[in-house]
Amino acid sequence: MKFFLVEVKTSFGKFGTLACRKICLTHSLTAVSFSTQTGSHEKTRVEYEEELGPAQVARLCQEHKLEEAFQVVAILRKHGCLITRDLIYSLLQGCIEKSDLEACRIVHRLMVDSGFDGTVVLVDHLIRLFTSYRSLGDANRVFNRLHQPTIHTWNALLTAHTKLGQEQRALYLFHTMDQWGIKPDIVTFLCALKACSNLHNIDNGRLVHKQVMNLELGSNTILGNAIIDMYAKCGDLKEAVGVFEKLSSRDIVSWGSLITGYVQHGQALPAIKLFEQILQQGVKPSKVVFLGAFKACSILSAGTWGRLIHTGLIQTEISTDLVINNSLIDMYTKCGLMTDAQSLFNCLQVQDEVSWATMISGFVTLEDPEQALRYFDQMLQRGLKPNGSSYSSLVKACGLLKAIMQGMHIHYLILVSKTALDMVVCSSLIDMYVKCEALQEALNVFNTLPFKDLVSWGTMISGYCTLGHGFAALELFGQMQQNRTNPDNTIIISLVKACGDIGSVNALMLMHHYVMETEIDADGSARGTFIDIYAKCGCMKEAYAIFGGLQNRDPMSWCSMIGGYMMHGDETLALDLFEIMQFFGMEQNRVVLLCALQACGSLGFLYQSRIIHDKIVRSNYELDVAIANTLIDVYSKCGSLEAACKVFETLSTLDVVPWCTMLAGYVMHGQNLKALEFFLKLQDKGIEMNPFMFSSVLKACGTLKELDKGRCIHNEIINGSLETDVVVGNSLILMYSRQGHLEDAYWVLKSLRKRDGVSWATMIAARSEYGCGLSAMQDFEEMQNEGVHPSIAALVCTLKACGSIRALPQGRIIHNLVVLGDLEKDVVVGRTLVEFYSRSGSIDEAWRVLSALPHQEAVAWGALIAGCAHHGNTRLARGYFYDMLGKGIKPDSGVFTGLLAACSQEGSVEEGHDFFKSMLKDFNVSPGVQHYSCIIDLFGRAGHFDQAMDIIDMMPDYPDLVIWMSLLTSCRTYTNVSMANWCFEELLKLEAVDAACYILMSNIYANANLWQDAKRVRQLIYSGDARKQLGIALLKVDSGVHEFVVGGENNPQEEEVSVKIDKLAKLLKNEGFVASLNLVLEPFSSETEEAMRIDARYCI
């Protein structure tokens, strides 16, 4: 045995080692047989050829004993026997059966050594063998040794390259063959057309088609089918149909190629029609045809057609084919017919991984992730291994459920399986972790990818954007650029939205510049997003620049522009753009119509609202709940509550929004009684109350002064556990405040869990309105202690409170807060500051604030002039009036009120009368009650009672309490009893309850020595409802303001104050001051007289 192996090795040379390895694997009996023969006598070459010739090698190869065949060849070569072509052919046949690449290489070497490397038949077989082993290098080496390869050899090499994915090389060989003058045959053309199909190289495909036609092979059905397939795969379906129609003889492959082409390019309807033609012409559909038809039904979601085709499939012999049935299941799932899919799946005798994957994918697509996971469990129980498609769908299911633990378990299974971890699965894992808000895990998966494709970058960036991490998304985009990966439009759109989310206009502009520079957005799909985000960021100029450059403006771009103008308060421009859209005949979707309606509502354009309503009706949007609610809101804002009611009555739903809108509309337009009736109606209907409804009805109660109803609603709020809601709480505070129940309002305020700026501003405003300035200041201080940022309303109301009690230091503190908040240029705040400083006597500071205002309106000047008048500086008041006129500012009624008051205090009768007459004559300002009151007071103080009576006769309305009290005060000065009687009678007609008018009249009688009348009037105070207001003094003590009330006993320093008053009284007496007791009606002793002279509280 050893000797034989040595012989073989020597005989094959460098291939001897391989031959020895092969021979050692043979049966030992064969080796013994040869050993016995060699040990008997030396055989001649002819005997070896006869005994171990080609016939013996052929027999061994046919019996699949390739190793023994190599032994025989080694012996023959050892003894110089002739190696024939038949022998090599037999070895090649043995290599086909054995599938051994090394054996093929041995045969190739044997062919070279024996001079058969130029034998075409053998070379063709060898090339095909190397192709089957995917060894193009060996195939090319075999081909290159040929001096004149035949068409068959060229075809063998072309087939090899086409089969092994080297289509570009195959086309090069095809053109080289043409240059060598080799005439191609059908096989050659089939290989070239296949290469063009796989490369989607339609230009080369047309050249091949032209050569086919030149050789008059166009009528060949096989070639025609290949040409149809090439055009179909390259997307030129028109040319494919042209070739198909010219075929003289069509087989099922022709139909299958065309129907597959239609489906591959999404043209499902022509594919279905072609399938119908197949049936009409009596052609029996093939597997390819059925697969194409089912795919077309999937694209169209045409479940009915799919069922009909399935019925036809049942009658064929391929009805049990697993690939067909998997395609059917896929079709049913994509059509949403999961019951049909499950029935078919359960009827399958064999269910492979694709079957399970298709079912799982179907459940995920139809958003039934629980069922998808149940099928996965069943799949594992049956011992089947999920493929990449299954894992991708399962990960998506976990993402839909946000089941991160199950997702992590499947992630673990994917890692264990090793074979399933591809880019699709990794992208699904990243997406799943993003949906579960586990960004770190998503980033871990992303970072482990050896190669990051566009999908993985896009999924990660989109995840950051979705979860509000805009800065991280932009940072990742920077890494993507460093990785030299170009983004697609989907990524750009996500990044643009991220720029909007973080409110970075600079980042948005940089992104826009990048897109314009790189021309990524070739189809313009990202421009709509740029318009939308620019609009949301308030960059309407940039948004309009992109919008104006669009050749085809879709409804969404119009909607973004109109919505942007709406968002930033340019309702007029929004409506203008809407009208331009109408002019161009653009389709107006529901979003555009909603924006246009909202613009009309903001502007109060009732006519335009009706026109848009008409378009809504013609577009069949009138039953849309959102549009109906907006219509009700718009009609309410425009004051057409009747139209709002008509829209409301068309709604069949008990949605809370329209009820809430109608209720708010009634309150907005002062129809508070109807609002209360509507509130009762919605309660009867069982509509669930929300905070906004309670807010509206509470406003109605506050306006109507319906305290009892307000309290009843308050009880309902408590029963509904809404008493701590800030919206409801603010409305309750307002309702109680409007009716003067400040303690109830404050109790509601303190019961709120969270008090916002509106809560405090409402309370402070109420305190200020009802003269509780000190309490208002305390509320403001408490608000600051709670860390609530003061609103403009809170600052304004607190300033008014400070002005009412002349709290100058506290007002200056508020002024500092205004400056810190950069609000000193605000018109309302500036006007209030001027008023505060004017009322507090700090005219210089008032003037500085007024001078700094960018818009010096007449109201602020009026406050300044009134302040001067109040503090007796009439000359300055007149000076400011003429300064105002010099600036071209037209005076309003407030300015004249201040001027007339100044003249009244100074006693400038003529000048005051001139101002009064010039109001209407020179400035077209109609005198109001306050002006009449001032001019009457001016004449009264001067004793010009006849002129005062003339003014009263001129008044368009009946004089109020203030005018009669002013005139009555003047009557006391001049002891004009007759005029006083008339004034007092008028006051009694007005049911005056203030004790001051009674005391004033009594004093007038006393001055005139009409003691009985004085006593009679005094008795009216005690017998009637007259009330005397307590005297109140506000004094600054240390850093605070304290309130002192006449007769008050709650002051903790009452004794100290009394001691101080006694000391002051003694000082006054020592200085010679004697209090007048002439008007005291009751008799008193000398001791009482002395006490009354000391105690100012008893002096009248």
Which are the contacts of 1032, defined by CB distance < 8 A and separation ≥ 6? 1043, 1044, 1045, 1046
Most confident stretch, 20-34, 165-179, 531-545, 583-597: 531-545
The three-state secondary structure class of 255 is helix
Tell me the pairing of strands 1040-1045 and 1032-1037: antiparallel
Mean pLDDT of 689-710: 89
List, for residues 469-494, the tens digit of each pLDDT value: 989 999 999 999 888 888 888 888 88
Residue located via tokens 């708010």: 664
- For residue 656, the model assigns a pLDDT of 85
Tell me which DSSP letter residue 367 carries: T
Least Cα distance to 130 among 142, 119, 118 occurs for 142
Domain ranges of the chain: 1-116, 353-451, 455-552, 566-653, 655-754, 1047-1100
Segment 987-1009 shows an average pLDDT of 84
54 pLDDT more than 70 = no
Rounded to 10 degrees, what is the CA torsion of 794, 795, 798, 799? -150
- What pLDDT score was predicted for residue 10? 36
CB 690 within 8 A of CB 698: no
Amino acid letter, residue 530: F
pLDDT of residue 857: 86
Q: Yes or no: say if 634 and 601 are a contact pair by the CB < 8 Å rule.
A: yes
CB 322 within 8 A of CB 350: yes
> Which range is least confidently modeled, 22-26, 482-486, 771-775?
22-26
Calculate Rg over the CA atoms of the chain.
51
The confidence band for 38, taking pLDDT boundaries of 50, 70 and 90, is: very low
* Average pLDDT for the chain: 82
Residue 208 DSSP one-character state: H
Give the pLDDT mean for 382-406: 90
Please give the average per-residue pLDDT across 400-415, as a whole number.
90
CB 973 within 8 A of CB 942: no
Q: Per mean pLDDT, which range of 87-96, 557-566, 640-649, 1011-1020 is the poorest?
A: 87-96
Please determine, for residue 752, whether its predicted confidence score (pLDDT) is greater than 80: yes
- Nearest CA among 424, 333, 415, 410 for reference residue 377: 410
> In angstroms, how far is CA 160 from the centroid of its own chain?
55
**219-267 per-position pLDDT tens digit:** 888 888 898 889 988 888 898 888 888 888 888 888 988 999 999 888 9
Percent of the chain whose predicted confidence (pLDDT) is above 90: 17
Closest CA to 794 of 764, 829, 768, 821: 764
Helices 757-769 and 742-751 pack at an angle, to 10 degrees, of 170
3-state helix, strand, coil in the chain (%, to 5): 75, 0, 25
- Confidence band for 288, pLDDT divided at 50, 70 and 90: very high
Q: Are 332 and 338 in contact (CB under 8 A)?
A: yes
pLDDT at 31 over 60: no
Q: What percent of the chain has pLDDT over 70?
A: 86
Q: Please, are residues 435 and 419 in contact by the beta-carbon 8 Å criterion? A: no
- Each residue of 852-886: pLDDT tens digit? 888 888 888 988 898 888 888 888 888 999 999 99
Does 21 have pLDDT greater than 50?
Answer: no
Q: In the predicted model, what is the mean pLDDT of residues 731-758?
A: 89
**Number of neighbours of residue 753 by Cβ within 10 angstroms:** 9
Give the number of other CB atoms < 10 A from CB of residue 356.
26
Per-residue model confidence (pLDDT) at position 847: 92
CATH class in words for 353-451 = mainly alpha
Residue 32's pLDDT band, with cuts at 50, 70 and 90, is: very low
Is residue 1068 predicted with pLDDT exceeding 90?
A: no
Instruction: Indicate if 655-754 has the same CATH topology as 353-451.
Output: yes
- Average pLDDT, integer, range 957-971: 89
**CA angle (545, 495, 459) in 5-degree steps:** 145
Distance between CA atoms of residues 698 and 451, nearest Å? 64
How many CB atoms lie under 10 A from the CB of residue 45? 12
CATH topology of domain 655-754: 1.25.40
Is residue 1030 scored above 70 in pLDDT? no
d(CA 198, CA 220): 21
Whether pLDDT at 287 is above 80: yes
Output 1099 or 201, whichever has higher pLDDT.
Answer: 201
Least confident of 16-30, 319-333, 354-368, 977-991: 16-30
The closest alpha carbon to 944, from 974, 918, 987, belongs to 974
Report which of residues 487 and 1063 the model is more confident about. Answer: 487
Q: How confident is the model at residue 281 (pLDDT cuts 50, 70, 90)?
A: confident
**What local confidence, expressed as pLDDT, does residue 22 receive?**
39
Residue whose C-alpha is closest to residue 151's, from 107, 210, 227, 215: 215
pLDDT value at position 175?
Answer: 84
Name which of 377-391, 744-758, 793-807, 1059-1073 the model is least confident about.
1059-1073
pLDDT in tens, 590-638: 888 888 888 888 888 888 889 889 888 888 887 788 888 889 889 988 8
Residues 260, 263, 264, CA angle at the centre, nearest 5°?
A: 85
Predicted TM-score (pTM) of the model is 0.56
Mean pLDDT of 670-683: 89
Q: Does the structure show a pLDDT above 80 at 1047?
A: no
Please say if the pLDDT value at position 328 is more than 90. yes
Q: Say which amino acid occupies 390.
A: S
- Two tokens at 205? 């495909």
Determine the Cα–Cα distance for residues 1008 and 434; give it in Å rounded to an integer: 94
**Torsion angle (degrees, nearest 10) of CA 711, 717, 721, 723:** -70
- If you average pLDDT over residues 637-650, what whole number do you get? 88
Res 979: pLDDT: 92
Q: State which amino acid sits at residue 1066.
A: K
